[in-house]
Structure 1
């Protein structure tokens, strides 16, 4: 049996799992559906986690010594206890033919922003601004203090997320239909994307019980495409999203670091893949207000941060683990 650590990154769109041994060799990886139980429900989230682990460990004889589960929607102790209970079920689930020999310090359940920071920066000090289905800014300083801003979920916040951008796009369409706001190319583009005959059909689609947050988030690329065509309304939505993400990022910086302290900020999440003006506008606002913050692209994906934290929890700090982040992520 090969001693391994298991890291998992569960978000509002997909779940990724990575299994690594003490030498930093990637033994397997798996991917499954969304596992934010706040949006998809507990049963669906559990099965997504199970499926991702099963895919990463298939046809191998592995001993799991440590686990880090970085999940969206588990920022409170009650949420983390639910996931602790799931972990007990996973260890008894016959669909995972694994040997579980977890170290006393080898279990870590945390919000996905924690693993995103470590994976994205290749270290655990700095800032991470995540914009996927949801959105949050998170940071950690040299003293180990942490802070967060936004990330309150799609009903209360998550400004700048794909969900928020999609919702603002829909609002712009119905306001234009009423004559309350300027006309926009979003009206045709969104209706075509959803396969609707016209704006009046939006009510039936959006208020359908099967319409989920991830369905709203899928409208964000449509807003981005229309903005690239020069549509003022779509461009304004992206500018507002960038402004909200910048506000959250500055809030975290000010809570953790003294003025003029140089720090890196990594941007993670599918919303940043925008080909429009989101990233450029965000970086412009950060540079103007906090020039000491350097915005960087992710060095590694968030799931790497999960296995790094799992390994560190059981003392895998030798020269062979991790030899370097590049070695650990080779083949990803």
Structure 2
């Protein structure tokens, strides 16, 4: 391998932000970059710009200025449901022609699957801003959920936040004040229920999802986390049953599952009761690492 193609570059273009990592031959990160949101469904031009920006930052510190990556793998939020894949692929390939000889595109969830399972078969549940469950079985990929915040995303930060807001509104309709009302109102800088509703509908999805982090550790939010864990567990069990003979490994990824002990515990409890054969691991490696196993 020559000096100019020893690098591999993984890009995780998620709904909240884009992360790019440049790896050397030993699989060590030698360059890192971040940029704003990267969902092709929500804003294609912004996603293009942020991916390029993150890559520029990740490669800026490389010692040899004549470098060229062996390949780039980009996982993009909304990729599988986008109707603009061909347009996006043409544009991003053109912009990155000086960076790598090969540019491959996939969904951010499939990138996470490669990273979390390190190329093995098994299942992966991701819960961050959104959520999805993937299975890789004898080279065949299948999925459950991941249909976006309006149609699914069970167990995601967005749905946790939305359920909390609904609970506050429902309690208000009963003429009472929910224990989480002050926290929720403060988060959206609202001083009344009408202001809360207006702020919620005007807020971008990542901002709404950010409420879930504020709810973590709140005793009054425990039923919400438990309910969302149950909904996500149902997706996992559904996919497990659809894949008889699959390697019984379940990886958990995404900020909701890797940083929230309550979600981890409740999900683990349900899975151990209904699918005791499954071994659960927390995927702490960055999703960009999926480029090493592609």
Which TM-score applies when normalising by structure 2? 0.90
Query: Displacement of 1:24 after TM fit?
Result: 3.3
Q: Identify the range of structure 1 (19-28 vs 3-12) with the bigger mean alpha-carbon deviation.
A: 19-28
**1:237 is aligned to 2:242:** no
**Which residue is equivalent to 2:92?**
87
Change in CA separation of 1:74 and 1:59 when aligned onto 2, cut-off 3 Å: same
| 1:143-187: CA deviation from partner (whole Å, max 9, x where unpaired) | 20111000001111111110111111111111111108x742111
**1:197 is aligned to 2:196:** no
Change in CA separation of 1:262 and 1:69 when aligned onto 2, cut-off 3 Å: closer
Change in CA separation of 1:203 and 1:23 when aligned onto 2, cut-off 3 Å: closer
Q: Is the Cα–Cα contact under 8 Å of residues 20 and 55 in structure 2 kept in the other structure?
A: yes
**Which residue is equivalent to 1:314?**
none
**1:109 is aligned to 2:105:** yes
Change in CA separation of 1:21 and 1:192 when aligned onto 2, cut-off 3 Å: same
| 1:92-142: CA deviation from partner (whole Å, max 9, x where unpaired) | 6xxxxx454x1xxx432111122212212323311110000000000101x
The structure 1 residue matched to 2:116, chosen from 115, 120, 124, is 120
Q: Is the Cα–Cα contact under 8 Å of residues 258 and 283 in structure 2 kept in the other structure?
A: no
Q: Is the Cα–Cα contact under 8 Å of residues 40 and 82 in structure 2 kept in the other structure?
A: no
**Which residue is equivalent to 2:29?**
26
SS in 1 for 2:69: strand
Instruction: Give the Cα–Cα distance (whole angstroms) in 2 for the partners of residues 171 and 21 of structure 1.
Output: 47
Gaps of 5+ in 2: none
Change in CA separation of 1:183 and 1:295 when aligned onto 2, cut-off 3 Å: farther
Q: Is the Cα–Cα contact under 8 Å of residues 224 and 274 in structure 1 kept in the other structure?
A: no
Change in CA separation of 1:251 and 1:213 when aligned onto 2, cut-off 3 Å: same
The structure 1 residue matched to 2:204, chosen from 196, 203, 212, is 212
Question: What pairs up with 1:298-313 in 2 under 5 angstroms?
Answer: 298-309=283-294
SS in 2 for 1:110: strand
| 1:187-230: CA deviation from partner (whole Å, max 9, x where unpaired) | 1111122222222311221232xx1111110111233232xx3x
- Root-mean-square deviation (Å): 2.1
**Which residue is equivalent to 1:322?**
none
Count of matched residue positions in the alignment of Structure 1 and Structure 2: 288
Q: Is the Cα–Cα contact under 8 Å of residues 253 and 284 in structure 2 kept in the other structure?
A: no
Gaps of 5+ in 1: 93-97, 310-332
